[in-house]
Amino acid sequence: MALMITDECINCDVCEPECPNGAITQGAEIYVIDPALCTECVGHFDKPQCVEVCPVDCIPLNPDVVETKEQLYEKYLTLTHQKAAM
């Protein structure tokens, strides 16, 4: 599953620079996560870095974007262009 940011976000700016895929951007009112770019940090880290640094615990799994760890890893390979090298 991709992650999402809820309206409990306080716009503290700590999550955006932690995302290795550039999936987090400033939205109209709060930060948002692009599910096409979110891999839950699979391939980069053991745990999602945005969740690790969030001071208000407002980054849950997105129930509308269901993905397995394998699918997230495939997305990671595609995003980092490593799939072609394999």
Tens-digit pLDDT profile for residues 29-81: 999 999 999 999 999 999 999 999 999 999 999 999 999 999 999 999 999 98
Q: Which residues lie across from 3 on neighbouring strands? A: 61
85 has pLDDT over 70: no
* Domains in the chain, CATH or no CATH each: 16-79 (3.30.70.20)
Helix then strand then coil, in percent of the chain rounded to 5, is: 20, 10, 70
Measuring CA to CA, which residue among 31, 20, 8 is closest to residue 72? 20
Read off the pTM.
Answer: 0.91
